[in-house]
Amino acid sequence: MITRVAEERVRFLNNEKIRTGRYVLYWMQSSHRTVDNPALQYAVERADHSNAPVIVYFGLSETYPEANLRHFNFMLEGLEEVSKSFEEMNIKFILKVESPDEGALNLSRDASVVVVDRGYLKHQIGLYNLVAERCRCPFIQVEGNVVVPVETASPKEEYSAGTFRPKITRLLDRFLHPVENISPKLSSLHFDFPSLVGEPIQSILSGLNIDKSVPVSSLFKGGTNEAKLIFTEFMQERLDSFSEGRNDPGGIGSSNMSPYLHFGQVSPVSLAIQSQEHGGKGTSVFLEELIVRRELAVNFVRYNNQYDNFQGLPKWSQNTLNSHTDDKREYVYSLDELENASTHDQYWNASQLEMKKTGKMQGYMRMYWGKKILEWTEDPREAYTNAVFLNNKYEIDGRDPGGYAGIAWCFGKHDRPWKEREIFGMVRYMNFQGLKRKFSMDNYVQKIRRFY
C-alpha cells in the first residue's frame, strides 16, 4: 500500500493478520489534533485502501496518573475543537469516560485495523501493551509527536545535547516534511455509539471523580486554534529576538508552545516548518529547543526506565550528591512550604506562584527553581521527588518527557561535572545574585504579582 507517512514512524505492535471489519479504528491517545497528524492520516489511508470508514476513539480516564482539573480542562478544550473538526471530515468521534485500553479493545472487535499514536511514558506504554496482547486485528502505532522518530534518531540513551545534536540534525531533511491532510472517502457519522461529544466541558468535568484542587489556568486555553494564534504572534513579535530574549524572566520571549505540544494539539513538524519559512536570526535557536532539546528529552524517557526518579540520574551525579547529603544547608524547606511559595527567595517564590496560577513557568526560572529545591532539601532523593511532584501537579505540560528531563538536568543529567562545592558536589550551581545580575528580575516579580 502506498503511504504518505514515513515508514520509520510506523510500528506493528502485534502479529495479527488484517481482517474484514466494519471500520478502521484510530485510538487517539497522545495526538489531540486533526491536522498534521500522521496516525490519523495512516488510519485514513488504511481505511480508503480497504473501502472502509474511520472512527476515532478517546478514553477519558479518571485515574490517569497525576492528572487533575487543570489538565482535564485544558485537554477537553482541545478535544471539543477536535470533535467539531472530525464532524467536518465525516468521521465519527467517540469520547467516553472509561479505561482507554478497555474502550479501545471493545471497539477493536469490529475493526479491521487499530491505529494508535505514540507516547513514551511508562503508563502510556503499559496501555499499548495491554491492547497489543489482546487485540485480534493488527495493532499499529504511528509516531507523530516528534520530528525524527526516536529510535531512528538514536538507538541508545544519549549523554548530552552535544552527542545527540549531530545525530538528529543529519536526519532533518528526511523527516521535516508536513503530512498530507486528507479526509476519508467514506463517512462514519452514521455509526451510533454512546459518546460525550457535544456535552459542555463543565458538565463533563463536574461528573468526573478527579482531583479538583488545582484550578484551571488563568492564562492558557487548550486547542489547536489557540496554539496557532499564540505561535503566529510569537513569530511576528518575538522569534527574531528569541536568541536574546528567551532566557529573560522579565521579558516575554517564550513561544508558549509546550502545553500544546504536551497534549499533541500542535505538531512539532508544523512549528519547525513555519519558523523556517519565517526565517530570522532567532530561528536556529528556536529549532534547537524545539527539536534537539525536546527530542533529547524523549530519548531520555525512551531509554531510561528510571526517568522519573533519582535513580535515573548518571552515576557521577548520584554519587556526588549523595556524598554531600550531610552538608549544612542555610535554609531547609518542607514540601508544604515550597508548594505555598513560602521561602526567603522572592524570585523563587515568584516562579512557584507563576506555575501555580498559570500552569507554566518561564524556562530559565524552571532551571533555577529546580536547583533551589535541591539546595533547600536535606536529601537529594527527597528533593528530586518533590520537584517531580510539584511540576506534575501544576504544570500543564507536567508528566512530560520535557519536564522529567528538565528536572533531571537540575540534578546533573545531560550536563557535565563542575568544580566541587558544598551540597551540589559537582552538579552545576545557580544563585540569586546571578539572576539579579543577568536579568530584569524586578520586572519578573511585578509581572507575576499581576496574576495575584
Dump pLDDT digits (tens) for 393-442.
999 999 999 999 999 999 999 999 999 999 999 999 999 999 999 998 99
Per the DSSP assignment, residues forming a β-bridge with 421 are 425
Q: Specify the CATH number for the domain of residue 262.
A: 1.25.40.80
The answer to whether residue 3 scores a pLDDT higher than 60 is: no
- Mean pLDDT for 38-61 is 97
Listed in sequence order, the DSSP H helices in 242-345 are: 242-245, 258-262, 268-278, 283-287, 294-303, 315-322, 335-339
285-332 confidence digits (pLDDT tens): 999 999 999 999 999 999 999 999 999 999 999 999 999 999 999 999
Residue 186 domain-assigned (yes or no): no
Q: Specify the CATH number for the domain of residue 371.
A: 1.10.579.10
Q: What is the pLDDT of residue 4?
A: 79
Taking the C-alpha atoms of residue 180 and residue 375, their distance in angstroms, rounded to an integer, is: 49
Task: Count how many domains the chain has.
Answer: 3
Residue 256 domain-assigned (yes or no): yes
Q: The cell 474502550 sits on which residue?
A: 103
CB 412 within 8 A of CB 309: no
- Mean pLDDT for 106-113 is 98
Q: What are phi and psi of 112, to 5 degrees?
A: -85, -30
- Mean pLDDT for 148-168 is 98
What is the domain range of residue 299?
146-178+223-303
Q: How many other β-carbons are positioned within 10 Å of the β-carbon of residue 15? A: 8
Tell me: do 117 and 10 sit in the same domain: yes
> Which of 261, 277, 303 is the endpoint of a domain?
303
Q: What is the pLDDT of residue 452?
A: 64
Tell me: do 134 and 159 sit in the same domain: no
Strand-by-strand arrangement of the 23-27 sheet:
10-12, 139-142, 111-116, 23-27, 54-60, 92-97
Tell me: do 18 and 59 sit in the same domain: yes
Tell me: do 5 and 116 sit in the same domain: yes
Closest CA to 107 of 49, 193, 184, 37: 193
Tell me: do 137 and 159 sit in the same domain: no
Taking the C-alpha atoms of residue 322 and residue 203, their distance in angstroms, rounded to an integer, is: 49
Q: Specify the CATH number for the domain of residue 97.
A: 3.40.50.620
* Long-range contacts from 327-333, C-beta under 8 angstroms, 24+ separation: 327/422, 327/423, 328/422, 329/375, 329/376, 329/378, 329/423, 331/375, 331/376, 332/376, 332/377, 332/378, 333/376, 333/377
The answer to whether residue 204 scores a pLDDT higher than 50 is: yes
- Mean pLDDT for 40-64 is 97
In order of 279, 281, 285, the CA distances from 236 in angstroms are 11, 13, 16
Provide, rounded to the nearest whole percent, the portion of the chain with pLDDT above 70: 99
Residue 210 domain-assigned (yes or no): no
Taking the C-alpha atoms of residue 295 and residue 2, their distance in angstroms, rounded to an integer, is: 28
Displacement of CA 156 from its chain's centroid (Å): 21
Tell me: do 116 and 19 sit in the same domain: yes
Taking the C-alpha atoms of residue 296 and residue 414, their distance in angstroms, rounded to an integer, is: 9
Tell me: do 153 and 231 sit in the same domain: yes
**Res. 218 pLDDT band, cuts 50 70 90:** confident
> Which of 303, 338, 361 is the endpoint of a domain?
303
Angle, helix 346-358 to helix 363-375, in steps of 10 degrees: 120
Tell me: do 1 and 112 sit in the same domain: yes
Q: What are phi and psi of 9, to 5 degrees?
A: -85, -10
Q: Kindly calculate the radius of gyration of the chain based on its CA atoms and give it in whole angstroms.
A: 22
Handedness of CA 71, 246, 255, 38 (dihedral sign): negative
- Mean pLDDT for 193-217 is 97
Tell me: do 159 and 279 sit in the same domain: yes
Residue 202 domain-assigned (yes or no): no
Write down the mean pLDDT value for the chain.
Answer: 96
Q: What is the pLDDT of residue 1?
A: 38
**Res. 280 pLDDT band, cuts 50 70 90:** confident
Tell me: do 157 and 292 sit in the same domain: yes
Q: What is the pLDDT of residue 2?
A: 37
The answer to whether residue 209 scores a pLDDT higher than 60 is: yes
Q: How many other β-carbons are positioned within 10 Å of the β-carbon of residue 350? A: 25
Residue 101 domain-assigned (yes or no): yes
Q: What are phi and psi of 261, to 5 degrees?
A: -70, -35
In order of 30, 318, 385, 396, the CA distances from 296 in angstroms are 18, 20, 22, 20
Closest CA to 413 of 433, 432, 395, 427: 427
333-364 confidence digits (pLDDT tens): 999 999 999 999 999 999 999 999 999 999 99
Tell me: do 299 and 248 sit in the same domain: yes
The answer to whether residue 449 scores a pLDDT higher than 90 is: no
Taking the C-alpha atoms of residue 243 and residue 253, their distance in angstroms, rounded to an integer, is: 9
Provide, rounded to the nearest whole percent, the portion of the chain with pLDDT above 90: 95
Coil, helix or strand at residue 419:
coil
* Residue 443 or residue 4, greater confidence: 443
- Mean pLDDT for 232-239 is 96
Taking the C-alpha atoms of residue 90 and residue 92, their distance in angstroms, rounded to an integer, is: 7
> Which of 129, 144, 159 is the endpoint of a domain?
144
7-17 confidence digits (pLDDT tens): 999 999 999 99
Residue 20 domain-assigned (yes or no): yes
Residue 193 domain-assigned (yes or no): no
- Mean pLDDT for 57-86 is 98
Backbone region of residue 327 per phi and psi (left: phi > 0; alpha: psi in -120 to 50; beta: other values):
beta
- Mean pLDDT for 259-265 is 98
Taking the C-alpha atoms of residue 144 and residue 26, their distance in angstroms, rounded to an integer, is: 13
133-151 confidence digits (pLDDT tens): 999 999 999 999 999 999 9
Do you know the residue count of the chain? 452
Displacement of CA 442 from its chain's centroid (Å): 30
The answer to whether residue 253 scores a pLDDT higher than 70 is: yes
Residue 201 domain-assigned (yes or no): no
Tell me: do 285 and 348 sit in the same domain: no
CB 259 within 8 A of CB 451: no
The answer to whether residue 34 scores a pLDDT higher than 50 is: yes
Quick one: cell of 274? 513555519
